[in-house]
Amino acid sequence: MTTEHDDRRRRELAANLARVRARIEAAARVAGRDPAELTLIAVTKTYPASDIALLAELGVTDIGENRDHEAAAKYVELCSPSSTELCSPPSAATAPLRWHFIGQLQRRKCRSVVTYADVVQSVDRPELASALGAAAANAGRVVDALVQVSLDDPATVTGRGGVDPAGALLLAERVDATPGLRLAGVMAVAPPGADPGPAFRRLAETSAQVRAAFPGATVVSAGMSGDLESAVENGATHLRVGTALLGRREGVVG
């Protein structure tokens, strides 16, 4: 049963989504790109499963989550008998939602993550690739994996995950050789408090190196609410947007 709150939230999300799509289309025009090349990922961390259902009604097809326990609970909630339209098996051709795990991932969480995630965007070390691939293979699945590249200055920013750009190709080779994983491309977050342009250009160069060796690794996941225009200008294919879509909550950015 739809409540007044549901209707109000749906209108709010619809308005936010229209503004974000307009920004993406404008950025694409400036960059001389086709907006159809760009995939919007709604980052729904800290927001309820009901928001995901509303976004799906509004045409959003890709959902990003940062924490396994939260993502797994939302997936289960949306797969209740009353929500079967959101419950197709992961990666099935008919599935209306594509789930992206975008947070730092511990190896012990891999078995849980592969039960719902179609894409893991944060593969940043060989041992994680091995654990994730083994979990996916044991579950009878093949999960798309992105190599997370660190664009931070290690002298000033630490703890955000990611392989140095110089090591990205070697890690990509490891991912490509791991059963249960499909190398899909690269992902990065712009350094905090800095012009994202130079960082995203470096990611584009790294992506080109990976793609030269693995032509199917075409995904470049970059850009969030505050810097999506720069990401589009520098070749991003997937944009991870949270705040501009869902609103700001204390301690949450993106």
Express each pLDDT in 181-238 by its tens digit: 999 999 999 998 889 999 999 999 999 999 999 999 999 999 999 999 999 999 999 9
- Tokens, residue 165: 């750009």
Identify the H or E element spanning 100. Answer: strand 98-101
Give the pLDDT of residue 156.
64
HSE-CB of 194 using CA atoms within 13 angstroms:
14
Residue with tokens 């392989």: 163
Q: Which residues are bridge partners to 43 per DSSP?
A: 64
50: exposed, middle or buried (Cβ count in 10 Å: 0-12, 13-18, 19+):
middle
- What does the alpha-carbon distance between residue 171 and residue 210 come to, in Å, rounded to a whole number? 10
Range 4-246: architecture per CATH: Alpha-Beta Barrel (3.20)
Pairing mode, strands 62-65 and 98-101? parallel
* Chain centroid offset of residue 238 CA: 7
Which residues, other chains included, contact 209 with Cβ-Cβ below 8 Å and sequence gap of 6+?
168, 169
Report domain extents, the chain: 4-246
pLDDT digits (tens, 9 = 90+) for 139-172: 999 999 999 999 987 766 566 689 999 999 999 9
Note the pLDDT of residue 193.
Answer: 84
Decide: helix, strand or coil at residue 128. Answer: helix
Query: What would the pLDDT profile of 17-61 be if each residue is shown by its tens digit?
Result: 999 999 999 999 999 999 999 999 999 999 999 999 999 999 999
Residue pair 117/100 in contact (Cβ under 8 Å)? The answer is yes
Task: Report which DSSP code applies to 89.
Answer: P
- CA 99 to chain CA centroid, Å, is 8
- Residue 149: CB atoms within 10 A of its CB come to 28
The pLDDT tens digits for 81-133 are 555 556 554 444 334 799 999 999 999 999 999 999 999 999 999 999 999 99
